[in-house]
């Protein structure tokens, strides 16, 4: 593919240099620190084997891709794979203003030139509806949508009904006030510790907010978003992902350290001890004729950081998970999660079903201890998936029922880099197979910035299967590390590989060689913290 550059002969290289140079104004990451990406202008035209390379033609009056292989006039993806990059989590500040605006603008221009289709934007409940129920302020997010629109990129929006620990983005102030009066609106473990980053699924339909339920509040939020952003829908905004729980995912917060729930040394713990969950458990046990089973969760389970063999419940041979009680509890626990997912996805279908948007929800890849018989990390997270039972069929059926795609992270992972007992590749294959059978599409993500080449190789392998089920990928996420000299050259090579941007200038016909390709060597990039 060839990228055309605007203007006259003096702008052959200047456009890309200008976009890259603007990144030196960046303020990615911690708001208390300013990160800078500096470019050595004396080296910016050096040839090398790494980084940003664009064959240029100084003939047109706009920056446009010359070739497109997709049927869509707005897509430059290959074989139906659309590439997106996640914007910083704190793109919009808690005061509803834009953080690191110039850096994001420069980054968006660079992504456009590279051949990325668009970006993903987290939209936080705690920012938009911060001070009062039903009082919405979308100003910061409207500014981002306008910025993306002007640059000709696509935008996918993630509606986040959870809080973020880093950077700190809390739930709405008024929600926290209700939580102070009734702490049981949060998930609770057997020691009484509460997870206050999102609401317990047990209160979905309960009128805990002055006669209004969380489901009603979520739906009103979605309707306000739809009304406010209607001018962008279908043109700039092409998809919406609705938050389903902790970190936006459909799961229980079984590991309170959200950064490690996908790969934790321990098995995590069941989150069924708030008064509302316990009420539902008691009612279910009585209905099943086992009232003594409804007094609480299993008593013979390990704690958060202990391995499966620490207690009897998850043991491979003779563990309580295989007993009638184990089946009773695990069925109830997982069905509560599935019902919650159905309620939230039904909201998304109701509000956005008649729009041109692609509707999605996020499913975690809880791959720790996958090679054991009981799959304990999946069980505590709410997925009744064991060596004897496929726990994802009912989950994925709910997505299909509500015409929703699945956002699935972990496409960058391989078993070779994971500890004993973990198998992200096997779990990914299992979920893919179920999605194929049920006709539910997958949009993939990585779990962290790839600092090694095989992370990108794993992603490309997942995107180029003979029987593809993943036709979209969002790389998470933009920030100072994203533009670092160690990472950014590998990312640009990844984009070229997926979009077939690997045509060397020497392979072009002589008549099309108007300018030398621009090279930005990996060592030119320097990240500094002021």
Query: What are the sequence ranges of the domains in the chain?
Result: 82-168+201-254+338-499
Q: In the structure encoding, which two tokens stand for residue 46, read together?
A: 């050096």
Q: What pLDDT is attached to residue 477?
A: 94
3-state helix, strand, coil in the chain (%, to 5): 40, 15, 45
Q: Is 46 a catalytic residue?
A: no
Q: Which of 120, 129, 197, 249 is catalytic?
A: 249
C-beta of residue 117 within 8 angstroms of C-beta of residue 80: no
d(CA 282, CA 276) in angstroms, rounded, equals 10
d(CA 297, CA 313) in angstroms, rounded, equals 11
| Axis-axis angle for helices 324-352, 214-228 (nearest 10) | 30
Give the phi and the psi of residue 241 in degrees, each rounded to 5.
-110, 130
Q: What pLDDT is attached to residue 166?
A: 87
Give the helix ranges, DSSP H, for 35-100: none
Enumerate residues 6+ apart whose C-beta is below 8 A from 168.
none
Element (H, E) at 57: strand 56-60
Q: What pLDDT is attached to residue 30?
A: 46
Q: Is 249 a catalytic residue?
A: yes
pLDDT in tens, the chain (530 residues): 333 333 333 333 345 445 555 554 445 654 444 333 333 333 333 333 323 333 222 222 233 332 333 333 222 233 468 999 999 999 999 999 999 999 999 999 999 999 999 999 999 999 999 999 999 999 999 999 999 999 999 999 999 999 999 899 999 999 999 999 999 999 999 999 999 999 999 999 999 999 999 999 999 999 999 999 999 999 999 999 999 999 999 999 999 754 445 556 799 999 999 999 999 999 999 999 999 999 999 999 999 999 999 999 999 989 999 999 999 999 999 999 999 999 999 999 999 999 999 999 999 999 999 999 999 999 999 999 999 999 999 999 999 999 999 999 999 999 988 887 899 999 999 999 999 999 999 999 999 888 778 899 999 999 988 888 999 999 999 998 999 999 999 999 999 888 763 333 333 333 333 333 333 333 222 322 22
Q: What pLDDT is attached to residue 521?
A: 32
Residues facing residue 365 across a β-bridge: none
Q: Which of 129, 322, 378, 445 is catalytic?
A: 445
Q: In the structure encoding, which two tokens stand for residue 352, read together?
A: 């956005």
DSSP string, 198-236: EE-GGGTTS-TBTTB-HHHHHHHHHHHHHHHTGGGBTTT
Q: Is 389 helix (H, G, I), strand (E, B) or coil?
A: strand
End-to-end CA distance of the chain: 38
Say which residue the tokens 């700190």 belong to. 168
Sign, CA dihedral 438-443-449-450, equals positive
Tens-place pLDDT, residues 344-388: 999 999 999 999 999 999 999 999 999 999 999 999 999 999 999
Class for the domain spanning 82-168+201-254+338-499: alpha beta
Q: Where are the beta strands (DSSP E) in 232-388?
A: 237-242, 358-362
Q: What pLDDT is attached to residue 54?
A: 30
């Amino acid at each position: 593919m060839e990228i055309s550059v605007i203007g006259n002969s003096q702008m052959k290289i200047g456009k890309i240099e200008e976009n890259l140079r603007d990144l030196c104004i960046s303020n990615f990451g911690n708001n208390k620190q300013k990160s800078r990406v500096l470019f050595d202008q004396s080296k910016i035209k050096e040839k090398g084997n790494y980084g940003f390379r664009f064959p240029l033609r100084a003939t047109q009056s706009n920056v446009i891709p010359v070739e497109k292989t997709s049927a869509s006039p707005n897509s430059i993806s290959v074989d139906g794979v659309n590439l997106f990059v996640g914007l910083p989590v704190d793109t919009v500040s808690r005061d509803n203003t834009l953080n690191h605006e110039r850096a994001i603008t420069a980054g968006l221009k660079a992504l456009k030139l590279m051949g990325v289709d668009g970006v993903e934007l987290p939209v936080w409940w705690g920012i938009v509806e911060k001070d009062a129920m039903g009082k919405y302020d979308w100003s910061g997010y409207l500014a981002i949508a306008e910025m993306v629109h002007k640059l000709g990129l696509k935008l996918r929006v993630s509606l986040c009904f959870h809080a973020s620990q880093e950077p700190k983005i809390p739930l709405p102030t008024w929600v926290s006030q209700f939580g102070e009066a009734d702490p049981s609106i949060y998930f609770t473990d057997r020691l009484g510790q509460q997870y206050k980053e999102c609401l317990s699924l047990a209160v979905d339909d309960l009128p805990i907010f002055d006669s209004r339920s969380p489901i009603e509040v979520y739906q009103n939020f979605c309707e306000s978003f739809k009304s406010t952003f209607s001018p962008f829908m279908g043109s700039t905004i092409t998809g919406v992902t609705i938050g389903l729980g902790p970190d936006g995912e459909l799961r229980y917060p079984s590991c309170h350290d959200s950064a490690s729930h996908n790969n934790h040394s321990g098995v995590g713990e069941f989150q069924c001890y708030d008064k509302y969950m316990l009420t539902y458990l008691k009612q279910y046990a009585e209905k099943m004729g086992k009232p003594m089973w409804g007094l609480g969760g299993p008593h013979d389970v390990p704690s958060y950081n202990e391995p499966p063999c620490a207690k009897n419940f998850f043991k491979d041979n003779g563990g309580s998970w295989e007993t009638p009680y184990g089946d009773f509890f695990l069925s109830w626990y997982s069905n509560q999660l599935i019902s919650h997912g159905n309620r939230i996805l039904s909201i998304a279908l109701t509000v956005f079903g008649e729009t041109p948007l692609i509707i999605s929800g996020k499913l975690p890849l809880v791959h720790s201890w996958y090679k054991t018989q009981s799959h304990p990390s999946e069980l505590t997270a709410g997925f009744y998936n064991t060596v004897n039972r496929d726990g994802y069929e009912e989950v994925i059926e709910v997505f299909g029922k509500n015409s929703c795609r699945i956002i699935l992270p972990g496409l960058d992972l391989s078993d070779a880099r994971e500890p004993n007992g973990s198998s992200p590749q096997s779990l990914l294959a299992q979920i893919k197979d179920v999605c194929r059978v049920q006709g539910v599409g997958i949009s993939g993500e990585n779990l962290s910035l790839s600092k090694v080449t095989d992370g990108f190789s794993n992603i490309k392998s997942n995107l180029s299967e003979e029987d593809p089920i993943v036709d979209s990928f969002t790389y998470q996420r933009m920030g100072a590390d994203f533009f670092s000299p160690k990472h950014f050259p590998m990312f640009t090579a990844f984009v070229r590989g997926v979009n077939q941007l690997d045509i060397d200038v020497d392979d072009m016909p002589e008549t099309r060689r108007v300018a030398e390709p621009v090279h930005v060597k990996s060592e030119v990039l320097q990240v500094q913290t002021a």
